[in-house]
Amino acid sequence: MKGFHDKKKGFGITYDNIYLVNGARTPFGKLCGTLGQVSPTDLAIYATKAAIEKSGIKGEDIDQVMYANIGQSSADSYFFPRHVGLFSGIPEGVPAVMLQRICGSGFETIIAGAEQISLGKANTALCGGAENMSLSPTVSFGNRMGYALGKIDFKDMLWEALNDTAAVPMGCTAENVAAKHGITKEDANIFAKLSVDRYIAAHKRGFFDGEVVKMNSAEFAIEGLISRKVRLPKHAVDFCTDENVRPSNLEDMAKLPSVFARDGVQTAANSSGIVDGAASVVVANGDFIKAKGLKPLSRIVASATSALDPRVMGLGPVPAIRLVLELAGLTIADIGLIEINEAFAAQFIGCEKELGLNRDICNVNGGAIALGHPLAATGTRLSLTISREMQARGVKYGIASACIGGGQGTAILFENTNI
């Protein structure tokens, strides 16, 4: 393990003998859809129990729990990571921590897990994130102290999450990137349609069957604790549908109005979907892998996090990817697959232009424009998806990355050691 920090480039680390074993995710439910009443804690438990099973281990094999949740949207949110660990069958003596780097949080759990293992504080870590954006609350700050006459003030925390009060709303950052790189609405729509088409093709060939857990109403019970009961709608039997996916054509997409700026490029069709969901992975060191006879999906080679002007936060993956490549001694030509979270079409295209990416190897199974962006879960989902696709294609190196509200970016470099 070797760390690096620089106030202009960012900070990062290279790892020795750390692996992403396997993982799972819930389907991503559309806003106020099938998963709209399921707490993020329960979404995380579904994903975590499946991730442990798919990894070929037991809950008792987990040494640390690293979990993320951004928009706290349930009454037990203070206990979120601890409850995820306990009700997923992880021993009660295993501590749990919640991490938050907004849209990079799912990555951050993997980075933290790998670092804890590298420091000798664990052999394994359960890492992931969950978000229920439908349950995001309406709040009144300061109501405990009473109201002046006619001065009751409520905030929609889902709306507030999309607005950087130090700069501009998230969608406006994408418009800034579009202006900087001369990206048109047609450019954005073409990419958005590609994302949806790729997702549909991947779904038809059964790619997502390998990562999406089928959900049913359930009771999560641990001896000595109050059990958790989850009731899905009656139609949700073996629920495994990413509900945000909306097939369309360029003609219809062109008719949609701009959302964030007059005559802007971003519309509802070429922006990421607001969804509910969770994703979990198991991270472990080589000694544990060998002792258990496991075949991991990928080796975690290096990670990097960078920061930049929040007004163009969508370009955050650019410095992060450049730094992670530098730390690993590689170039972009060495990378066979890339996942960059599709917060907005213009944001992805801006990164594509600055990094000189080959679109043929980027987001090959579609991205957040198609299936949605449950904030804390996205980084974990991208890491799992790219690791699985690297196996399918026999690709040696892959990078997963995301922009982060406030002007940051995170990237993780993975290696396929099974070729």
- Return the active site residues: 103, 403
Tokens of 277: 């969901």
Q: Are strands 64-68 and 124-132 parallel, antiparallel or unpaired?
A: parallel
Residue the block writes with tokens 């790189």: 181
- Closest residue by Cα to residue 365 from 200, 214, 240: 200
- Closest residue by Cα to residue 277 from 31, 104, 90: 31
Contact 353, 389 (CB under 8 A): no
Residue 233 has, within 13 A of its CA and on its CB side, a CA count of 10
For every residue of 368-391, DSSP letters joined together read HHHH---HHHHHHHHHHHHHHHHH
Cα gap 266→291, rounded to integer Å: 50
Cα gap 351→403, rounded to integer Å: 10
Contact 389, 205 (CB under 8 A): no
Contact 274, 265 (CB under 8 A): no
Contact 73, 39 (CB under 8 A): yes
The CA-CA-CA angle for residues 242, 248, 252, to 5°, reads: 145
For every residue of 229-293, DSSP letters joined together read EE---TT-SSB---TT-----HHHHHTSPPSSSTT-S--GGGB---EEEEEEEEEEEHHHHHHHT
Contact 39, 74 (CB under 8 A): yes
The number of residues in the chain equals: 419
Q: Are strands 96-99 and 64-68 parallel, antiparallel or unpaired?
A: parallel
Residue 221 three-state SS: coil
